[in-house]
Amino acid sequence: MNAPVQTAEAREIALAGMGVSRLRKEDARFIQGKGNYVDDIKMPGMLHMDIVRSPLAHARIKKINKEAALAIPGVHAVLTADDLKPLKLHWMPTLAGDVAAVLADEKVHYQMQEVAIVIADDRYIAADAVEAVEVEYEELPVVTDPYAALQPDAPVIREDLAGKTSGAHGPREHHNHIFTWDAGDKAAADAAFANAPVTVSQHMYYPRVHPCPLETCGCVASFDPVRGDLTTYITSQAPHVVRTVVSLLSGIPESKVRIVSPDIGGGFGNKVGVYPGYVCAIVASIVLGRPVKWVEDRVENISTTAFARDYHMDGELAATPDGKITALRVNVVADHGAFDACADPTKFPAGMFHIVSGSYDIPAAHCSVKGVYTNKAPGGVAYRCSFRVTEAVYLVERMVDVLAQKLGMDKAEIRAKNFIKKEQFPYTSAFGFEYDSGDYHTALKKVLDAVDYPALRAEQAAKRADPNSPTLMGIGLVTFTEVVGAGPSKMCDILGVGMFDSCEIRIHPTGSAIARMGTITQGQGHQTTYAQIIATELGIPSEVIQVEEGDTSTAPYGLGTYGSRSTPVAGAAIALAARKIHAKARKIAAHMLEVNENDLDWEVDRFKVKGDDSKFKTMADVAWQAYHQPPAGMEPGLEAVHYYDPPNFTFPFGIYLCVVDIDRATGETKIRRFYALDDCGTRINPMIIEGQIHGGLTEGFAVAMGQQMPFDAQGNLMGNTLMDYFLPTAVETPKWETDHTVTPSPHHPIGAKGVAESPHVGSIPTFTSAVVDAFAHLGVTHMDMPHNAFRVWKQLKASGVNL
């Protein structure tokens, strides 16, 4: 039976496919308290683990006394590095080719490092037992500054690396040196600088910050001693990678390891790594033969799980007198903490930092990044960005402003002058990236027109001329390009596994479908948007398409969700898996309609015989046939798997403009207006895109205006609670205006580029650009973040304009 006749338009609406602001499928459970996060999981006989941590940043462990803790009723075990040694689990490999201590082996390298674990009947008893474990330390000299760490007489942080003159990324020059990584052409850049009529340079520090998702990290590990298999529910953005790591570490075959990322309460890069707590909970479960839960608290989360940034950067631009940039040089000292646990593709220890030439056609460029050990927690993850792209965009956008100031040019004009032109795409940058598509000039004009840029500049000029103005007005402008969608396997791997992603789609006999991917949503709404891609590709209503992710026993292998890679990589896998099904469905439809395949047209949800609208078969008709009576010789069923290895990255871009008013008495910065235009290529669900942009802008606002992780000379982290670490509330958060252009990616099956990280990457330098702009007429060229009231007030004092 065919469905009642409906217009193609009506049927298209019924699909709720790509381009529709479809309400979210995942919301029903979240608004009724029925989410299933790691800490919601309970298993029979489950025990609770807690961690004894070091109060000192650098110290030798003299003695650990477990007796008092073990004497507490309800305590099952206290384990230290000595207990893990026979299992060879006291150290573990990091994603960056280094090793990290699981439990401190003879010495601690940073404050709050894991020293021992306790396992008890409940979390209260476990907390009591942590207090009862006695650890004797001998203090060692502490170094928290990476420049000081490179001095010849600096304390040796990594005694385990003694005598190792090379690491995973080449030669080591010093006992606290990890790697030096270069990109671009140094000789060409140096030559351009030697002859340049105009050069500018600027030092800037991008502070250490923390992604701080609202849900902390944790897991429930359950080893079944009878079956010999291990199931672990975990807060992971990359469950398949965790499965591979756990199998390699434990020796349990990968087929007997099941990793499940259930609902995840935000990730933002914090949940990419494999942390000691996870490994310890798994070991404890194996040792005790019972399920073990570990969930860190907020202080542990900020203090020990992966931080982001901590880049000390020196940028230089060479240019002609009329503002054409001829060369870029960048030198970075990167503070990686005590273990190199950055989450980057293996070959790129500074991630995609070499996107640092930005949206500009710069003929010669070179960058060099030096990684350094300090007595701080390890990490270096991408906090809502592709690998180190936030640092790169910040650097180049700041440098272009500095150059504009030196030349007395407008910051919009200098950008337009140096943009890669629409007709230059695909464009190969001096660092070797092949930018897929872009139209920066059109987007810039749209933003400048929308905010009436000349009027803003006129207002600013009037304010500057008025000595009694209570505020300083600043206008920030950033025109950024991101590189996301890691990545092509020929360039990108993690632990040797190529950074492809995957999708499996099964169409059921009655025309509904289930699809599984190697990614994992943490708020991005994959269950909604992925179904929309399939709906458009296959003509099945998105409402009856079930999307599942995160269970390694059911989902195909994938590298997970971070670096805006879900849509560029898994999204492409979805489209191509669907197209395999579509090709088979066409054959079945041709058989059913007794015509040649070539005599069929596809329209929304059905194959029609050319020239006869009354003869058609819908995808649901085809699905039934595929299971009921497939054509002779054809395999029954209607399903497909696709592993997508992207040919290139995607390059979303945006133009952001911000207007601030700084109170000359208090230094408080009011964000008067923030206008964000994003181009992420093809748009799958505009509502979700806008939500992602609001969130990214807000996280960018937090970083620029308040977040930092300061350390004192003893290595104490001076802000590891939500009292000290800035997470903006609804009151401080500005109102966002969003806009878009659409420049599809030519190499992506549906033209989508990825979006959720652009607003974080792009907004941070926009705030800095605006705050510095407020002082530009006073000769200020740069101010380091965070731009909190105290720091801005100090600049008001220094510039002599405070009231």
Instruction: Determine whether 60 is an active site residue.
Output: no
Residue 668 as a binder of another protein (CB under 8 A): the answer is no
CB 122 within 8 A of CB 71: no
CA distance 549 to 561: 11
Name the DSSP class of 24: P
Q: Which of 111, 237, 405, 708 is catalytic?
A: 237
Residue 401 as a binder of another protein (CB under 8 A): the answer is no
Q: Work out which of 214, 461, 665, 718 binds another protein, going by CB under 8 A.
A: 214
How many angstroms separate the Cα of 253 from the Cα of each of 246, 249, 257, 279, 374? 9, 10, 7, 16, 36
3-state SS string for 396-413 = HHHHHHHHHHHHCCCHHH
CB 318 within 8 A of CB 395: no
Q: Of the ranges 130-138, 261-269, 393-401, 790-798, which one interacts with another protein (CB under 8 A)?
A: 261-269
Nearer to another protein by C-beta: 19 or 266? Answer: 266
- Position 422, amino acid: K
Nearer to another protein by C-beta: 606 or 760? Answer: 760
Q: Which of 11, 258, 384, 398 is catalytic?
A: 384
| 685-704 positions binding another protein, by CB under 8 A | 687-688, 690-692, 694-699
Nearer to another protein by C-beta: 297 or 639? Answer: 297
Nearer to another protein by C-beta: 176 or 698? Answer: 698
How many residues are present in the chain? 803
Q: Work out which of 194, 583, 722, 803 binds another protein, going by CB under 8 A.
A: 722
Minimum Å gap between C-beta 725 and another protein is 9
CB 764 within 8 A of CB 749: no
Minimum Å gap between C-beta 379 and another protein is 18
Instruction: Determine whether 757 is an active site residue.
Output: yes
- Position 727, amino acid: L
**Three-state DSSP state, 385:** coil
| 14-43 positions binding another protein, by CB under 8 A | 23-24, 26-35, 37, 39-40, 42
Q: Of the ranges 450-458, 476-484, 715-723, 770-778, which one interacts with another protein (CB under 8 A)?
A: 715-723
For 551-585, give one letter per residue: b (16+ CB within 10 A) or e.
Answer: bbeebbbbbbbbbbbbbbbbbbbbbbbbeebbebb
Do you find a cis peptide bond into 487, omega within 30 degrees of 0? yes
Nearer to another protein by C-beta: 39 or 603? Answer: 39
Nearer to another protein by C-beta: 523 or 646? Answer: 523
Residues in the interface with another protein (CB under 8 A) total: 57
User: What binding mask, one character per residue, do residues 499-538 give for another protein by CB under 8 A, x or -?
Assistant: -----------------------xxxx-------------
Q: Of the ranges 292-300, 395-403, 529-537, 789-797, which one interacts with another protein (CB under 8 A)?
A: 292-300
Residue 560 as a binder of another protein (CB under 8 A): the answer is no
CA atoms within 13 A on the CB side of 413: 11
Percent helix / strand / coil, the chain, rounded to 5: 30, 25, 40
Instruction: Determine whether 113 is an active site residue.
Output: no
DSSP 268-292: TTTTSS--HHHHHHHHHHHHHTS-E
Q: Of the ranges 350-358, 629-637, 726-734, 747-755, which one interacts with another protein (CB under 8 A)?
A: 726-734
| 96-155 positions binding another protein, by CB under 8 A | 122-124
Minimum Å gap between C-beta 669 and another protein is 17
Q: Of the ranges 184-192, 295-303, 568-576, 778-786, which one interacts with another protein (CB under 8 A)?
A: 295-303
CA distance 214 to 212: 6
- Position 164, amino acid: K
Nearer to another protein by C-beta: 595 or 687? Answer: 687
CB 733 within 8 A of CB 793: no
CB 530 within 8 A of CB 515: yes
Nearer to another protein by C-beta: 60 or 298? Answer: 298
Q: Of the ranges 214-222, 278-286, 591-599, 647-655, which one interacts with another protein (CB under 8 A)?
A: 214-222
Backbone angles phi, psi at 759, to 5 degrees: -65, -30
Instruction: Determine whether 385 is an active site residue.
Output: yes
How many CB atoms are located within 10 Å of the residue 421 CB?
A: 12
Residue 729 as a binder of another protein (CB under 8 A): the answer is yes
Q: Work out which of 2, 510, 596, 721 binds another protein, going by CB under 8 A.
A: 721
CA distance 146 to 127: 35
Q: Which of 217, 385, 492, 680 is catalytic?
A: 385
Minimum Å gap between C-beta 361 and another protein is 33
**Three-state DSSP state, 195:** coil
Nearer to another protein by C-beta: 296 or 344? Answer: 296
Residue 194 as a binder of another protein (CB under 8 A): the answer is no
Backbone angles phi, psi at 669, to 5 degrees: -105, 120
| Structural element, H or E, at residue 128 | helix 123-132
Q: Which residues contact 295 (CB under 8 A, 6 or more apart)?
A: 38, 39, 216, 217, 218
Question: Between vectors from CA 635 to CA 602 and to CA 607, what angle results, nearest 5°?
Answer: 10
Q: Which of 12, 215, 699, 757 is catalytic?
A: 757
CA distance 120 to 50: 8
Minimum Å gap between C-beta 111 and another protein is 19
Q: Which residues are identified as catalytic?
A: 237, 384-385, 757
By CB under 8 A, name the binding residues for another protein. Answer: 23-24, 26-35, 37, 39-40, 42, 122-124, 212-216, 263-266, 268, 295, 297-298, 522-525, 687-688, 690-692, 694-699, 721-723, 727, 729-731, 733, 735-736
